[in-house]
């Protein structure tokens, strides 16, 4: 009961910050403040929800997208195979991150990889890997060398990421990106980069926790029906 009251109290406080009382001018929140409130509320609800044991969890974007028409299993497999073959034909050789994200003048660079059981973005947002797994964290710098503010929006353009990696010298394995609600998640990144500013973003990939070292990294980026293969 105490946990329930605590959650209700926090949500009420959040509502008071966002709503206007009678005759009282609303407090204007910045985008950063709104993001912090949303992330904090999500964290608290997740923490005190007895039916949710894993905290903030993976969001499967494909699961929320319902097909427009019903298809048989065989029909779906044939369509997916055809789409995969078409995408494979469109992979540009020797692509770079700038080929995909530098159209507006942005410079995107890979800065390193690390392994971790969890990834913490702030005091209220911590993402934990599943049991028996760990995160392979790819880090990127996003730089705006121009004199104007530029926006990078991977969220509405539905950019998809996958990565090839070699675990402890073994054969290469491919894994899809682990999607989160973090503001620094490159797979759902949507932010303004001011002139002469550099921001950091990450991609998380779940891999077995027995892996101690990864190498031979290749990033697959699908955008606007084109898949780019980028050696990191």
Q: What is the pLDDT of residues 206-227, one digit of tens each?
A: 999 999 999 999 999 998 889 9
Tens digits of per-residue pLDDT, 112-160?
A: 999 999 999 887 788 999 999 999 999 999 999 999 999 999 998 889 9
Rounded percentage of the chain residues whose pLDDT exceeds 70: 59
What pairs with residue 120 in β-bridges?
126
What distance in Å separates the CA atoms of residue 46 and residue 188, rounded to the nearest whole number?
Answer: 20
Whether the CB-CB separation of 162 and 179 falls below 8 Å is answered with: no
Nearest Cα to Cα of residue 79 among 90, 68, 64: 68
Q: What domains are defined for the chain? A: 2-48 (no CATH), 97-231 (2.60.40)
Averaged pLDDT, 104-110: 92
Cα separation values, 64 from 59, 61, 67, 160, 183, Å = 9, 6, 10, 15, 21
What distance in Å separates the CA atoms of residue 21 and residue 28, rounded to the nearest whole number?
Answer: 13
Q: Averaging pLDDT over each range in 4-8, 13-17, 169-173, which range is the top one? A: 169-173
Q: What is the pLDDT at residue 164?
A: 97
Model confidence pTM above 0.85: no
Q: What is the pLDDT at residue 158?
A: 86
What distance in Å separates the CA atoms of residue 162 and residue 124, rounded to the nearest whole number?
Answer: 27
Averaged pLDDT, 90-95: 66
- Strands 214-223 vs 160-167: parallel, antiparallel or unpaired: antiparallel
In degrees and rounded to multiples of 5, residue 198 shows phi and psi of -125, 130
Q: What is the pLDDT at residue 123?
A: 77
Whether the CB-CB separation of 185 and 179 falls below 8 Å is answered with: yes
What pairs with residue 133 in β-bridges?
208
Neighbours of 186 (CB within 10 A): 23
The overall average pLDDT reported for the chain is 76
Averaged pLDDT, 69-79: 44
- In sign, the C-alpha dihedral spanning 148, 154, 160, 163 is positive
Query: How is the chain split among helix, strand and coil, in percent rounded to 5?
Result: 30, 35, 40
């Amino acid at each position: 009961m105490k946990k329930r009251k605590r959650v209700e109290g926090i949500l009420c406080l959040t509502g008071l910050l966002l709503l206007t009382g009678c005759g009282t001018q609303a407090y204007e929140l910045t985008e950063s403040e709104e993001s912090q409130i949303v992330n904090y509320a999500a964290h608290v609800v997740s923490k005190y929800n007895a039916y949710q044991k894993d905290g903030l969890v993976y969001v499967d974007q494909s699961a929320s997208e319902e097909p427009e028409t019903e298809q048989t299993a065989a029909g779906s497999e044939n369509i997916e195979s055809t789409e995969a073959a078409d995408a494979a034909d469109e992979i540009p050789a020797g692509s770079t991150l700038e080929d995909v994200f530098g159209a507006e003048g942005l410079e995107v660079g890979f800065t390193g990889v690390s392994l971790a059981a969890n990834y913490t973005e702030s005091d209220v947002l911590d993402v934990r890997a599943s049991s028996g797994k760990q995160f392979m964290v790819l880090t990127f710098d996003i730089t705006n060398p121009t004199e104007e503010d530029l926006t990078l929006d991977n969220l509405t353009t539905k950019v998809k990421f996958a990565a090839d990696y070699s675990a402890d010298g073994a054969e290469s394995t491919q894994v899809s990106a682990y999607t989160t609600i973090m503001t620094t998640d490159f797979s759902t990144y949507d932010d303004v980069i001011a002139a002469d500013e550099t921001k950091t973003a990450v991609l998380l990939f779940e891999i077995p926790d027995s892996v101690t070292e990864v190498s031979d990294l290749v990033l697959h980026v699908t955008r606007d029906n084109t898949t780019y293969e980028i050696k990191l």
